[in-house]
Amino acid sequence: MKILTLNTWQERGPWQERWEVILEGMERFHPNIVAFQELFNPSWAQEIQKRTGFPHLVFPEEYCGLVLGTDLAVKSSGVVRLTKSPWEDYDRYAMWAELERTGQPLFVFNTHFSWLLEDGESRRKQAREVLELVGGKAGEAEAIVMGDLNSTRHSPEIRGFIEEGGFRDLFFEKHRDEPGFTWDNQNPYAASAHHPLPDRRIDFILARGSGSGLKDLVSCDLVFTRPDPKGIWASDHFGVLAEFK
């Protein structure tokens, strides 16, 4: 089973050319579950479903930018609004979906936390709300939390997922000595952001559970870390791809 998360950078820059890079990568990676952030266009989401062949695409009615594509059966799904940052004039959300895998449930949570460096208080509240959502929806079942968390591994919010929620940081599990920056100023789309940000690993796939589905992690790597031959990068973020045996 392969799981992919990517912040798609809305419809900025050469966005249709960028999506060709993303779709080419999807064809190579063949993820079973993909979580996109900053995808707001419903007609484009339908085009993505058509191009990727995902039988199931969860595109919420809420204007949240969170989308889930999967070849697993979707039993139920929903969206919750998170704490709104006093620094932002838009809402933040978390979406969830109960997927069925060989007769066992797998709960997937896709989210996008507030982005300003100085807004750690909002992110901590948002992380707490996602943990509560996991507890309320998944109970003791296997669960994946992923997305653009705008937090580093040593932040209180990520430590909360690991220490309190029992989640594993999959990239760290496979690359303990690597920085794994997903926001990297070598990427010109990141370097040209209107608000300069330091290189950081802020996109995560976190897993909880030791059943047959999430027990054996084969790999967890960064993807979309290079431009295509025309110099087009997939996004201002790099993606994260995890594969389980």
- The string over 115-133, giving b where at least 16 C-beta atoms fall within 10 Å of a residue's C-beta and e elsewhere, is beeebbebbbbbbbbbbeb
Angle between helices 42-52 and 15-29 (to 10 degrees): 30
Query: Does residue 234 register a pLDDT over 70?
Result: yes
pLDDT at 236 over 90: yes
179 or 210: whose pLDDT is higher?
179
**How does residue 212 score in pLDDT terms, banded at 50, 70 and 90?**
low
- Bridge partners for 7 per DSSP: 37
Cβ pair 209, 141 in contact under 8 A: yes
> Is residue 210 very low, low, confident or very high in pLDDT (cuts 50, 70, 90)?
low
Return the ∠ at Cα 188 (arms to 242 and 114), rounded to 5°.
60
**Exposed, middle or buried by CB within 10 Å (0-12, 13-18, 19+), for 109?**
buried
Nearest-angstrom CA–CA distance, 154 and 152: 6
Note the pLDDT of residue 102.
79
Share of the chain above pLDDT 70, in %: 98
Residue ranges of domains in the chain: 2-244
189 contacts 235 by C-beta, under 8 angstroms: yes
Instruction: Note the CATH architecture for domain 2-244.
Output: 4-Layer Sandwich (3.60)
The residue written with tokens 């901590």 in the block is 124
Q: What is the mean pLDDT of residues 105-133?
A: 98
pLDDT of residue 214: 82
Distance, in Å, from the CA atom of 181 to the CA atom of 198, rounded to the nearest integer, reads: 10
Q: How confident is the model at residue 155 (pLDDT cuts 50, 70, 90)?
A: very high
**Per residue in 84-104, pLDDT tens?**
999 999 999 999 999 998 778
Burial class, 230, CB count within 10 angstroms (exposed 0-12 / middle 13-18 / buried 19+): exposed
